[in-house]
Amino acid sequence: MKFTVLTLFPEMFSAFTSTSIMARAAGQGHIEVECVNFRDYSDSPSKRVDDAPFGGGAGLVMKPQPLFDCLRDQSLAAGERIVYLTPKGKTLTQQMVVDFSKLDRMVLVCGHYEGIDQRVIDTFVTDEVSIGDYVLTGGEIPAMVLMDAISRMIEGVLNTEDSHMEESHYDGLLEYPHYTRPAVYEGMAIPDILLSGHHKNIELWRFEESVKLTGERRPDMLRAYYDRLTDKKKRKIVEKYLK
């Protein structure tokens, strides 16, 4: 997977792509990250990329010219996914992450100020994505969130095949609690079931803990999970925690 990031602040991605899982994924060739500063494409002598909005109003809007020229310079293939990170976009979900992870390349457009000229969106953007119902200074942090989530889904990036499959949101439930050594710490003992060695019972306990936690914190997720669940035994467990 190749991520082409169009940003005014490519330096923000240096630490992100050179540490932890992202660094390993890049080092092993599973992902490639290219940052392009679209300020370099401005035809303004001062390299200005913003201007006041037509119709008045506060703030500045990213001009179309630098982004048009930058995007046209990316050798875009037919059907290429161009994602604009914006609070107005569709809220990011794990299913969207899974779908994106199947692509060979995606272009991420990081806006600033009041956003980008609508003509850029109308001409190039295929997906508008939001990471939540709040506003950030620019699209760089949302782009990192999206890249991190997608990279975890790419085969070979995580240490074991099952790692991402057991994480929160992957199968529609929040993840069960985790414990490690020592078994007793400051008088607090881990659940006995985890020391039983009975893997089937442990799996069932983990499932019910996930269901319980999801019911407490995200009842909407639990209802959606229940509606598509076909396993009768699991449906009976879920029914205890539906609100």
**Domain spanning 168-239 has what CATH number?**
1.10.1270.20
**DSSP 3-state helix, strand, coil percentages of the chain (rounded to 5)?**
40, 20, 40
Q: Does 136 belong to an annotated binding site?
A: yes
Q: Does 131 belong to an annotated binding site?
A: yes
Which residue intervals of 28-165 are DSSP H helices? 64-72, 94-100, 118-123, 140-153
pLDDT tens string, the chain, 243 residues long: the values are: 999 999 999 999 999 999 999 999 999 999 999 999 999 999 999 999 999 999 999 899 999 999 999 999 999 999 999 999 999 999 999 999 999 999 999 999 999 988 999 999 999 999 999 999 999 999 999 999 999 999 999 999 987 654 544 454 457 899 999 999 999 999 999 999 999 999 999 999 999 999 999 999 999 999 999 999 999 999 999 999 998
| 2-153 CATH fold | Alpha/beta knot (3.40.1280)
Strands 32-37 and 2-7: parallel
Q: Does 132 belong to an annotated binding site?
A: yes
Helix (H) or strand (E) holding 196: none
Q: Does 195 belong to an annotated binding site?
A: no
The secondary structure of 105-122, three-state, reads: EEEEEECECCCECHHHHH
- Phi/psi at 106 (nearest 5 deg)? -140, 145
Q: Does 111 belong to an annotated binding site?
A: yes
The model's pTM is 0.86
Question: Residue ranges of the domains in the chain?
Answer: 2-153, 168-239
Residue among 93, 89, 95 nearest 136 (CA): 89
